[in-house]
Structure 1
Amino acid sequence: MKKLKYNSNYSFILMFVVVMTVVSACKKTTSFEDVILITGTQENKLVKFTVEGVPSSFGVTATATDKVESDVNVSFEVDTTLVELYNTEMSAKYYVLPKGSYELVGNTAVIKAGTNVSNAVTVYIRSLDKFVDGRTYILPVTIKNVTGSMSVLEASRTIYLKVARVIDFKSIDISNPNFYHPYAFAQPYNNITKFTYEIKCYINDWHPGSNQISRLSNWGPVDESLPNLLRFGEAGSKINQLQWVSAEGSTFSKTEFATKTWYTISCVYDGSTYKMYINGKFDSGFDGAGKVYQLGALEIGMSYSGYQTAQRFLGRVAEIRFWDRPLSPTEIQEGICGVDASSAGLVGYWKMNEGDGNTFFDRTGNGRNMTWPKATVWNSDSFNKCAQ
């Protein structure tokens, strides 16, 4: 076999072709024009608007992607018809703000020559009187038009202000083991092939002792063979790790719970998989095999002999909900503070928000009120706040 001789001319020609190809490709690269958009919408069009009282205000500005050579007027408007479009796009269920509850003050802003950000137009929340508990409201503020030759970036034309009300609520304290009791419903809910179970909890402290297990809640058949248990510190886990035990398996939370903090726990079964969410974020899960369940009884704490003290839960609970369908991640995130009692698939909803007495009313109207046989300790203080 003959050796191929190195050809310097060939090498030069090859290098020239590569360089010219790169240059040619660069010339064909799309050039980008400067545009105008609503400030802050590049990463997320949905922006939290925290409302602790009324009136509350939020400033909306426009941004140009480069400094403008002359003044650019940007006019804004509220367009509530965009809520439905956004819900469809995001598979969400946000609500339009009630009429008279908001106001856009000064609908025109100016990006001054030599700058790239406008002054602000102001959105006010004037009233919360017509807001419905459990509903999440958004207000779309959109760029109507601009002066000059710059166009609007369509993906960032609209900002959706998600009204996050700071809500004061009541809860029950279940630190006293004498409170624990399994409550049997007069009419069990049968043949549950899919569900979501939710509960809010607040840990005052972890109870002392060598067996530091805390049992939060449990639900299942009337015969009390309750197959859906939430407990902390079991089976060698850390004292602040939550375990969800079902009839088909169990999972430990990756989240390590802190004291003096409210958590919303959402347990979702879609007929084949079990997924646990903590404060609206997926935490852990396991596979199932089509188990059918019954909601016949609900237990808060653990009343089994000897467990009341040995595995007591030192803390508070509120917002217990049971659905006969798996909630979507968006629905879970939007329900941190509460849900609409008329929501589809909501079988039982106990806000634990009565403030006195021993009856926990089912807000769905399905009649599953629970009149507890034990004394109830109510909490209503600065720790009981929720913002969403």
Structure 2
Amino acid sequence: MKINCLTNICKVLALAGLFVSCEAPYNPIVNNVYFAEAQNVDFKKITVSESGASTSLFVRMAAVQQKEIEVSIAVDKVVLDEYNKRNGTNYLLLPETFYSLKTTTTIIKQGEVSSNPIDIAIKAFDETLEVSEKYAIPLKINSAKGAELLEASSSLVLLMDKAIVTNVLFMKAGAKINYKLPDEDQGLSDLGQYTVEFLTYSESYGKNKHILSFGAPSGKVGLFARFGEFDHPFDEIQFKPGGAPIYGPSRFEPKRWYHVALTYDGSLIKLYQNGKLDVSSDSPSPGEKHTWRTIMFSTGNTGSLSEVRIWKVARTQTEISENMYAVNPKSEGLELYWKIDEGKGTVIHDYTGNGRDGDTGTLGTWKSGQKFPEENK
């Protein structure tokens, strides 16, 4: 009897709850305003060539609005500061003299979801801008009359990727750049972390083509790399940090430039191709420190090298991908920096000021006009 009574009470309460929920006010999802380009990411990359660059942005809403929406945007340095902090980058605000916004207001017309384009023109960079620095234009939607903002997508950072035109040295297969640290130079001793990076170009790929070798005090090889290990594909890269091989799964096409980076943070070894993580592997000797007394970089195959750098820190993926074609020579942790852009002679200068200059001998030919990023073929 008691059980039936309790059951009936429960049914009444449930029914009452149903009526309450049905009569509760309906709150539709607000149709917010946001940057179309910031729907999935908070940045947009723009390559600035010798003739400058241009781009267009749009603001939009999720669904058709029944009235006209006026949207205002502005350059906001706070947006850039937050982006740098979030991503560990050091972008500088591009001076106003190098860009212009056609308008700072736009309209989402009644019955539409997207605005007219917001056109931005960017002038060619000149010598007043440091080539190794990175610049950006941070934008923020300030207001939208008649609608709310989608805060997560209401800001966007335009990242300027300056097209660099430089000299490169084309060398015969196996041509080498060597350097031996003098006894008093301990800059590459007891490295608990490191990063090695460079740009490489090969006319073709062949078997067992060595591209770098760092010698330890014992005379043994401390770090070694090559293309085309004897029983592996010719276009596969192999590194041997501390004697343990690591192979890059991404292949290399002939007659194309590639950025390669290897990092060691004391426990993980990571290999990057063109700023993207290619493979990660546990170190065979976690916590091991490395000392290099000799440095050798080689083309391996007939081709070219550029932007050779050795760091005593493990660079992050963002730091690598954002600085493939140039870096500030005074960057913290940078121990050796061969741009290989002299355009004449055989001496390769160390741009860090540490005096670790290399020598190519007479095995190369200088060519001018090489562009980075490389134009699509």
Superposition TM-score, scaled by structure 1 size: 0.84
Please name the residue that 2:3 is paired with: none
Partner of 1:144: 142
Q: Verify: 1:185 aligned to 2:152, yes or no.
A: no
Q: Which amino acid in 2 is paired with 1:157?
A: S
- The alpha carbon displacement at 1:374 in A equals 3.8
Once the 2 structures are TM-superposed, how far is the Cα of residue 54 of structure 1 from its aligned partner?
A: 3.6
1:369–1:30 distance in 2 versus 1, CA, 3 Å: farther
Match of 2:197 in 1: 198
Task: Answer yes or no: is the 8 Å Cα contact 2:75–2:140 preserved in 1.
Answer: yes
Partner of 1:63: 60
Among all aligned residue pairs of Structure 1 and Structure 2, give the percentage whose two residues are the same amino acid. 25
Amino acid at match of 2:327: V
Task: Select which of 291, 299, 324 maps to 2:312.
Answer: 324
**What is residue 356 of structure 1 aligned with on the other side?**
344
- SS of residue in 1 equivalent to 2:190: strand
Q: Is residue 126 of structure 2 the alignment partner of residue 131 of structure 1? A: no
Tell me if 1:120 matches 2:117.
yes
Deviates more, 1:35-44 or 1:318-327: 35-44
CA 1:28–1:376: 2 relative to 1, 3 Å: farther
CA contact (8 A) 1:188 1:295 kept: no
Pair 115,94 (structure 1): closer, same or farther in 2 beyond 3 Å: same
| 1:27 positional shift | 7.4
Aligned to 1:229: 224
2:260 equivalent to 1:261:
no
Q: CA separation in 1, counterparts of 2:316 and 2:26?
A: 41
Q: CA deviation at 1:375?
A: 4.0
> What's the counterpart of residue 244 of structure 2?
249
| Structure 2: tracts of 5 or more residues without a match | 1-6
> What do residues 156-195 of structure 1 show as CA deviations (whole Å, max 9, x unaligned)?
1111111122222322223244x33532133352221110
- Mapped partners of 2:204, 2:23: distance in 1: 63
Higher mean displacement: 369-378 or 87-96: 369-378
Q: List 4+ stretches of structure 1 deviating above 6 A.
A: 25-30
Deviates more, 1:57-66 or 1:215-224: 215-224
Cα separation, partners in 2 of 1:382 and 1:182, compared to 1, 3 Å: closer
Query: SS state of the match for residue 100, structure 1?
Result: helix
Normalised by the length of structure 2, the TM-score is 0.86
Q: CA RMSD in A?
A: 2.7
Distance 2:272 2:171 in 1: 23
Tell me the matched-pair count.
357
Go from structure 1 to structure 2 and tell me whether the alpha carbon gap of 1:373 and 1:316 turns closer, same or farther (over 3 Å shift). closer
Cα displacement (A) at 1:26? 12
Q: Which of 159, 162, 166 pairs up with 2:159?
A: 162
* Residue in structure 2 matched with residue 306 of structure 1 by the alignment: none
Which residue is 2:294 aligned to? 297
What are the superposed Cα offsets for residues 293-343 of structure 1, whole Å, 9 maximum, x if unpaired? 2232211239xxxxxxxxx42221111001000001111111222211121
**Letter paired with 1:145:** S
The answer (yes or no) to whether the contact 1:181–1:299 under 8 Å persists in 2 is yes
Partner of 1:335: 323
One-letter identity of the residue aligned with 2:271: M
Q: Distance in 2 between matches of 1:163 and 1:85?
A: 17
SS at match of 1:152: coil
Question: What is the alpha-carbon distance in structure 1 between the residues aligned to residue 23 and residue 295 of structure 2?
Answer: 67
For 1:307, the equivalent position in structure 2 comes to none
Cα 1:72–1:29 shift into 2, 3 Å: closer
Displacement after TM superposition at 1:351 (Å): 0.7
Taking structure 1 as reference, are residues 26 and 325 closer, same or farther at Cα in structure 2, changes over 3 Å only?
Answer: farther
Q: How does 1:72-83 map to 2 (within 5 A)?
A: 72-83=69-80
- Please state whether the residue corresponding to 1:380 is helix, strand or coil: strand
Separation in 2, partners of 1:243, 1:318 = 19
Stretches of structure 1 lacking an aligned partner (at least 5 in a row) = 1-9, 303-311
Check 1:173–1:29 CA distance in 2 against 1; reply closer, same or farther (3 A cut): farther
